[in-house]
Structure 1
Amino acid sequence: MIPYKHDPWTNFSVEENRRAYEAALKKVEAELGGDFDLIVDGKRIKTDDKITSYNPSNKEQVIGTVSKAKREHAEEAMQAAWTAFEEWRKWSPKARAEILFRASAIVKRRRHEFSALMTLEAGKSWVEADGDTSEAIDFMEFYGRQMIQLAQGKPCNSSEFQHNEYNYQPVGVGFAVPPWNFPFAIMCGITVSALVTGNAVLLKPSSNTPIIAAKFVEVLEEAGLPKGVLNFIPGSGSEIGDYIVDHPKLSFVSFTGSREVGCRIYERAAKVQEGQQWLKRVVAEMGGKDTIIVDRDADLELAAQSIVKSAFGYSGQKCSACSRAIVHQDVYEQVLERTIELTKELPVGNPTDVHTFVGPVIDAGQFRSISEYIEIGKQEGSLRLGGEADDSTGYFIQPTIIADLDPNSRIMQEEIFGPVLGFSKAKDFEELLEIANNTDYALTGAIISNNREHLERARRDFQVGNLYLNRGCTGSIVGEQPFGGFKMSGTDAKAGGPDYLRNFLHAKTVSEAF
């Protein structure tokens, strides 16, 4: 099969593309306020209790509502998923992959509609939303092709009188728990990877962005996914999340979100419940505290550009975002001043404007948390830019740069998940690398350097799952930079990589004697 090539992003400098996105925004805005049901075993279920999704740029604007599942709905979904699994697992991998390809084609035709919905529901700029949609398409196409390849099994040695085979089988029923910051791409990726491998799934979307998930479930239904294979059950973690993770019939959890919740899931899933016949698998991506190192002989303009784009894209609300710049003392002031200059040029505002680079943060809770960190930063270092916050109409925080921080300060150690960038200096390359590795996380990192020996040292000793040389630390592409980290960043499952689907498969050896 021909390898899949990355879905190209939209060029919004082309007037035709701008008009198409503006039209999509108008279409989506005209349809706001819809109510979406639970979907269990193919049946629509309305509940009195609702989850309401709001526009973070305009906090009074309702994007839509979804019915909120209770434990009885989660139990019904679990039973329906196991019933559907017994037939779904027998489908050929090619037939399952073709449903993903059909869904991908539907999304491609409606890409601006999905992106525009993310602009309104998640506060994503045009470019960020389009990239999110593109990544969702990539996941469907890539995982479909990967499953077709895995269906061939792996070669085993055989003897004259014995033939051996090594094949893969689905494991059962999984629980997909996606985040709000990539409401389409990650939600899609962790769902379809489990589906295409022959498993059934219970999907609990983020309560901040449930509408995009509801729309995608409709796409999968249109593409021909059988009833019960995917059950859509929005709800709270306390009401249904723990219940499902603890369930003796659950096979695996696929989670992306906070360290706190990820560790809780990992702990609960490890406990064997009465009647449980297997060890549950957990695929977890739990965040980062990501660093860009700037060496003494680096291209300083490249360094500043890389830091700014990595730190403030989507208001820093990425687990891969650069929240720490560690700069050699000889070039520290130059890099800091240029970073400040470039940050001042960033357009901040409502992401419905094509020119906006920095939009809102997701909700009132994040707004308060980030604002508190800025106050902490003022005590720990020197506030060089930003610090202003305004939640009068939406949740807007100006891009903030705090300099002269101790590497062990809270700003340099704790995940803030907002547009806050910390600067520290180091006396030599050894210290640059030491500071880069001094956090609990190991997700992404970058080094800007023209010293070949230092680049090679970083390859070996920079403790991150995704390392980038002479570029920013965000923007991994499915199939090109498989994504995931270790330490407290998660299980390093490498989404969009050649091994990812094996998280949802059993390997089986069959030997036949002649």
Structure 2
Amino acid sequence: MIPYRPEPFTNFLEEQNMKKINEALEKVQTELGRDYPLVIGGEKIMTEKKMISINPSAKNEVIGRTASASQELAEKALQNAAQTFQTWSRVPAHQRSRYLVKAAAIMRRRKHEFSAWLMLEAGKNRVEADADTAEAIDFMEYYARQMTELADRGRQTLVPMEGEDNDLTYIPLGVGVIIPPWNFALAIVVGMTTAAIVTGNTVILKPASQTPVIAYKFYELLVEAGVPAGVVNFLPGDPTEIGDFLVDHRLTRFISFTGSRAIGLRIHERSSKVASGQIWMKRLIAEMGGKDAIVVDKDADLELAVQGIVASAFSFSGQKCSACSRAIIHEDVYEDVLNRCVELTKNLKVGDVRDASNYTGPVIDEKAFNKIMEYIKIGHQEGRLVAGGKPAGDTGFFIEPTIFADVNPNARIMQEEIFGPFVAFTKVRDFDHAMEVANNTGYGLTGSFYSRNRELIERARVEFHVGNLYMNRKCTGAIVGVHPFGGFNMSGTDSKAGGPDYLLQFTQPKLISEAL
């Protein structure tokens, strides 16, 4: 297997590339409004109840309708996954890896098509959609290679002993429930699912309610790549109807979750309880958001810092768990950084992502729109509005990129995850004060520190308590294999997706010793 290399991003400044993505967009738009089944053991099942996915850039446009599972169908999916596990878990690791390599090759050939679905269903612009698809390809390529290495690791790491044949193998856990988010509707779905199956597990994939169609397109790709029926069971459904049922079930061996802190903690609590007939402790792999900060020192390259703040806060309308929602600026340069950020922000164009001139698109749905607007009301009480703060059109869920200045570090808009195009600025006296403010939340996912001061950079490495810390660059944009991703505290289990240890979360080591 050739060495892993991250998938390159598409340069849409080149006319040929822009033509290709626009052609893909036209093709996908002819496929809107279709019905999609849930799939259990390869059997496609339509239900009377449907989940409707809409285009957040155009509220009246239906992307598609997917079947919605009942508890009875969830039970059927779990039973099927448990049965399939008996055969899939015995497929050699190198063979399982090759399914991922094949799937990655298919997605690479259809890259613009998948990106077009992301534009329409998740509201991503061309650049963000392309990065999402590239990351999905990276996850498959990377985990395929990690699995082959893991399969060979045992004998290489044990200390030899005369008279014995010792072997350490990493065996799969069992049936997993995959609960991905809507904001990386392809990349994280792909990463969570393929990490679980390449290690020999079978899964129930319950896609996010806002983005089930792109998840189904990924399921179809796995089928095309030859992944056997029942390894992945596609189970869209109302979380209130099947969410707890899947988490609580005795056959569920592990839950892989990416989403909000509140839901993650609920899963953590419920998964710790032992169901009747359950013979294991369930494992939880969770990523639960952040309240990420960019800290700017007085000796920083201020233009570099400003560009990083604006990009981290407002790309994809701030709907990234790694997005900058707190700007912590040294008092000596506070006004300069703030004023320049306001200047750049006011020039950002918001609208339907099909228009390539728009910098960013909508927030995901009406619930998110209303929540962010409520936080803007709170912001008026806790800070000084200097940019944005209003809806940006009524055809979709558009909100202007918003900046509040002079905010107290303990204010709600400095403490609570908003998940929108919203950043709060606060002023600090020195480095110690900056670290105090930066670490003053229940989260610990990403952060950035901008400075030319070598001593302070070294101190930040130790004192800035986040899972992914970036120096003199933005706090978004982790690359698979380059920046293993996961956070501390209430940001999750810090399982480091896209890193060398991630697959261990889906396995258990078994030592076999034979006297000779």
The TM-score with structure 2 as length reference comes to: 0.99
Q: What's 1:103 paired with? A: 103
* CA deviation string 1:91-134 (max 9, x = no partner): 11111111111111111111101101110101000000000000
Decide which moves more: 150-159 or 176-185.
150-159
How far apart are the structure 1 equivalents of 2:147 and 2:33?
38
Task: Spell out the pairing of 1:492-507 with structure 2 (5 A cutoff).
Answer: 492-507=494-509
Contact 2:320–2:419 (CA under 8 A) maintained in structure 1: yes
Match of 1:248 among 247, 250, 255: 250
Q: Which residue of 2 aligns with 1:85?
A: 85
Once the two structures are superposed, the pairs formed by residues 12-23 of structure 1 within 5 Å of their partners are 12-23=12-23
- Cα shift at 1:390: 4.4
Shift of 1:437: 0.2
Aligned to 1:293: 295
1:72 matched to 2:72? The reply is yes
2:227 to 225, 228, 232: 225
The Cα offsets for residues 254-292 of structure 1, whole Å up to 9 and x where unpaired, read as 000001100000000000111110000000000000000
3-state SS in 2 of match to 1:79: helix
The one-letter code of the counterpart of 1:289 is: K
Taking the aligned partners of 1:271 and 1:149, their CA distance within structure 2 comes to 34
Range that drifts further, 180-189 or 149-158: 149-158
Alignment deviations for residues 160-201 of structure 1 (CA, whole Å, 9 cap, x no partner):
222322111011000000000000000110000000000000
Where 1:441 maps in the other structure, the secondary structure is coil
**Quick one: distance in 2 between partners of 1:390 and 1:69?**
36
Q: Counterpart in 1 of 2:132?
A: 132
Contact 1:10 1:17 in 2 (8 A): yes
Partner of 2:429: 427
> Counterparts of 1:468 and 1:53 in 2: how far apart (Å)?
36
In structure 1, distance between residues paired with 2:148 and 2:170: 11
Indicate the residue corresponding to 2:5 in structure 1.
5
Q: Deviation at 1:430?
A: 0.2
Unpaired runs of 5+ residues, structure 1, are: none
Give 3-state SS (helix, strand or coil) of 1:166's partner: strand
The whole-number CA distance in structure 2 between the counterparts of 1:284 and 1:269 is: 12
CA RMSD of aligned residues (A): 0.8
Distance 2:64 2:91 in 1: 35
Structure 1 residue 357: Cα displacement: 1.5
Aligned equivalent of 1:439 = 441
Q: How many angstroms does 1:392 deviate by?
A: 2.2
- Give the CA deviation at 1:153: 2.8
- In structure 2, give the amino acid aligned to 1:247: H
- Count of matched residue pairs: 514
- 1: CA distance between counterparts of 2:356 and 2:266? 39
Q: Is the 8 A contact 1:153 1:165 kept in 2?
A: no
In 1, are the aligned partners of 2:293 and 2:325 still within 8 Å (CA)?
yes
Partners of 1:21 and 1:445 lie apart in 2 by 33
Equivalent residue of 1:379, what SS? Answer: helix
Aligned to 2:335: 333
Measured after TM superposition, the shift of residue 347 of structure 1 is 2.2
Q: 1:110-509 alignment to 2 at 5 Å?
A: 110-154=110-154, 155-390=157-392, 392-509=394-511
Q: Secondary structure at the match of 1:279?
A: coil
Letter in 2 for 1:221: V
Q: Is the 8 A contact 1:53 1:65 kept in 2?
A: yes
Q: Give the TM-score of the pair, scaled to structure 1.
A: 0.99
Post-superposition offset of 1:158: 2.2
- Taking the aligned partners of 1:63 and 1:236, their CA distance within structure 2 comes to 18
Equivalents in 1 of 2:407, 2:514: separation in Å? 65
Distance 2:393 2:22 in 1: 26
Say whether the 8 Å CA contact 2:350–2:392 is kept in structure 1: no
Q: Distance in 2 between matches of 1:302 and 1:138?
A: 28
How far apart are 1:356 and its partner, in Å? 1.8
Distance 1:270 1:294 in 2: 41
* Identical-pair percentage: 57
How far did 1:443 drift? 0.1
Q: What per-residue deviation string (whole Å, max 9, x for no partner) do you get for residues 360-381 of structure 1? A: 0000000000000001001101
- The residue that corresponds to 2:48 in the other structure is 48
Instruction: Name which of structure 1's ranges 100-109 and 340-349 shifts more when overlaid on structure 2.
Output: 340-349
